[in-house]
Structure 1
Amino acid sequence: MAFGSFNHHRNPGPMADINVTPMVDVMLVLLVIFILAAPMFTGSVQLELPKAQAAATPSTPAATVTLSIDGKGRIFWNNDPVGQEALQARLVDAAKLEPQPELQLRADKDTRYEIVAQVMAAAQSNGLTKLGFVTDPKEKK
């Protein structure tokens, strides 16, 4: 008979309570095992890498080109004003240089994003790959 059979007036039925104590015990044991075993899995693999006999290449620092855009949308190449056609020609010439110069894009905070996006797209379409944004540090109060 089931537990609680001393009370004959009770309706006999299946017990609906779930005993989770054994499951918690098993999970705690697994947790301890994983905590103890985790440092064993982080060991490094010893490899013998091949040795290379190559001379160091002389590294010439890449030139830096500053593209500035003022609040009115005018574009400046190293502080010289340029138009859209002249900008395209200069970007083509810069893409042919080896190593390619790094473009540093400086835009006024009032500049329309459309103009900035057009300059970025022109640089990318002409093959320039190094583009950085120049910002002023936040003023301390």
Structure 2
Amino acid sequence: MNSSYDDELITGINVTPLVDIILVVLIIFLIVAQVVGPQVFQIKLPKAVHGESTSAKPVTVYLDQSGRMALNGYPVEEESLIRSIKTWVKANPELQVIISGDEKVFHGKVVHTLDILKGTGVTRLAIHVQPRT
């Protein structure tokens, strides 16, 4: 064996495998965040016989039993909801917003949410229901 190779100093570290691992972890995180994000709120929808479906891609505001709000599945405070909706209404004046509230949410909370949304300029509102058979 040649001992001249054993005495050389390591002057560089190959970080390519580390970068590869970090990128894979980042991709996994992004995929999991997309899957897990909208399932934050457990909502039992009220049933209705005369509900209609929509073909447009609406924005959804969730209300759970305790009165917490979520925008497209992500928890938000009232001020953040107002800012986001106003931004979207500026970009698309025909924006449709669906309120998806638990069947046990107080009527006053739903009315308050409707009032907030009307105040942001939303003109197309709907309430999400589960079809009754």
TM-score, normalization by structure 2: 0.54
| Structure 1 runs of 4+ with >6 Å offset | none
Which residue among 113, 116, 121 is the counterpart of 1:119?
113
CA RMSD of aligned residues (A): 1.7
Q: Alignment length, in residue pairs?
A: 79
CA contact (8 A) 1:64 1:102 kept: yes
Return 99-108 or 76-85, whichever deviates more: 99-108
Correspondences of 1:1-141 after superposition (within 5 Å): 63-138=57-132, 140=133
Question: Aligned AA for 2:99?
Answer: L
Question: Tell me, which stretches of 5 or more residues in structure 1 are unaligned?
Answer: 1-60
Return 90-99 or 116-125, whichever deviates more: 90-99
Return the offset for 1:64.
1.1
Q: What is the DSSP-based 3-state SS (H/G/I as helix, E as strand, rest coil) of the residue aligned with 1:109?
A: coil
Higher relative contact order (CA 8 A, sep 6+): 2
Task: Note the alpha carbon deviations across 1:100-123, whole angstroms, 9 max, x for none.
Answer: 321011110110111111110011
Question: Aligned AA for 1:66?
Answer: T
Return the offset for 1:99.
4.5
| Structure label with greater radius of gyration | 1
Q: Counterparts of 2:92 and 2:100 in 1: how far apart (Å)?
A: 23
TM-score, normalization by structure 1: 0.52
CA contact (8 A) 2:93 2:122 kept: no
**Larger helix proportion of the pair:** 2
Identical residues among aligned pairs (%): 24
